[in-house]
Amino acid sequence: MSAFALYRLPYEDHFTIVEQTDGEPVSLSSCAELNGQSGFVVAPFHLTEKEPLLLIRADRVETVEMGTKSPMGPISLISPIEPISSPKSSPQALRAAYHIDFANYHAHLLSGDFKKIVLARSATIEATPRNVIDLFRDACQRYPRMFIGLVSVPKCGTWLAATPEILLSNNGSQWQTMALAGTMKLEGDDLNGEGENVMWSTKNIQEQRYVATYITECLEQFTTDFNEYGPYTTRAGNLVHLRSDFTFSLPDEQHLGDVLRTLHPTPAVCGLPKRQTFDFILHNEHSPRRYYSGFMGPLLLSPSTLHLPPSTHLYVSLRCMEIFANGYQLYAGGGLLSDSVEEQEWQETEAKMETMRNLLYI
């Protein structure tokens, strides 16, 4: 069975279709195996045999203007989508599970075992799914500042993401990544701006600084030519975050897989120390993340109809959901520090899930 991806970069007026017309996408067991490869990448939070890193071969690449009707050949690939296999939990049960996880995670922060750790959860919405192409187009219209990606692969399922976080991107010879952390919800008159009036708490500032320091340490392994700009407030939907941009050069672009192996997962979706928090999440989080908080996007891919050189635009898979025959599984998470408050963190995940929920009832 074939596989496909649709993606729209922030602020662009067109999207790109990438289709593999036959065979299964290549399954990889390590980011390092992306060295020298090209195609559309779909990576999970934790690479396993069941949930591998997938590389969709670009047999067909087409760019489509947002306002035009184009033959959507890949639409037939959506069916069949399996029903949701996990039992639906009541709101009370979901909240109780989060309470247990928060207490467990927070205890390790208070004891000094971790500086930061990200707690994620999921929620099931049972419904007759909307047409996925309509969902994708609506996401593009509603969230112009974000990367919008729709992916359908038999091995991982069908996923839609609207994410603000660049993992690795390039513009010619210049490369970019970012440290994105801290979250606040815009309300009232602030929805008319870009969050310029937001006052950030010490917790949010510290959380973002942890991520920025980690990115710096990663880049130092591959280049001495990099610059950091920020932090500054950036808007994503009805939320704002603290963001620092890193630009850098790479002496060897055939080893992008090694760069990705070092960066992923960043403290923005995992924690610090990275290895200890990563292992703790795998063994303690109630809700398996699957492809949430992994990454997706084109790797050294050239949209043929635009006659551009190959480019890379890999984004962390935040604000995403998996689409099933009888509903949706939504995912969200938030970074915890020693002074985190449980109810505030729960409400942050609720606000993040609104990004996908808002698309389901148009």
| Exposure letters 270-294 (e unless 16+ CB within 10 A, then b) | bbbebeebbebbeeebbbebbbbbb
Per cent of the chain over pLDDT 90 is: 61
Read off the pLDDT of residues 166-205 as tens digits, 9 standing for 90 and up: 999 997 788 999 998 878 877 776 666 666 777 888 888 8
Proportion of the chain in helix, strand, coil states, percent, rounded to 5: 30, 35, 35
Read off the pLDDT of residues 46-76 as tens digits, 9 standing for 90 and up: 999 999 999 999 998 988 887 766 555 444 4
Q: How far apart are CA 84 and CA 7, in angstroms?
A: 25
Which of 290, 320, 301, 214 lies closest to 51, judged by CA? 290
According to DSSP, the β-strands at 226-236 and 239-248 are antiparallel
Tell whether the model's pLDDT for residue 323 goes beyond 50: yes
pLDDT, residue 1, reads: 47
Per cent of the chain over pLDDT 70 is: 90
Strands (E), 172-238: 174-185, 226-236
Q: What is the DSSP string of 29-57?
A: S-GGGGTT--EEEEE-SS--SSS-EEEE-
Average pLDDT over residues 268-287: 94
Read off the pLDDT of residues 103-155 as tens digits, 9 standing for 90 and up: 999 999 999 999 999 999 999 998 887 889 999 999 999 999 999 999 999 88
pLDDT, residue 253, reads: 79
Q: How far apart are CA 49 and CA 27, in angstroms?
A: 9
Which H/E stretch holds residue 243? Answer: strand 239-248
pLDDT, residue 78, reads: 43
> Among the residues of the chain, which ranges form H helices?
91-110, 132-142, 202-219, 256-263, 274-284, 342-360
Sign of the CA dihedral running 177, 52, 159, 69? positive
Q: Residue 101: exposed, middle, or buried by beta-carbon count in 10 A (0-12, 13-18, 19+)? A: buried
Structure tokens that stand for 347 in this block: 């409400």
pLDDT, residue 261, reads: 94
pLDDT, residue 80, reads: 40
Q: How far apart are CA 247 and CA 136, in angstroms?
A: 29
> Among the residues of 220-291, which ranges form H helices?
256-263, 274-284
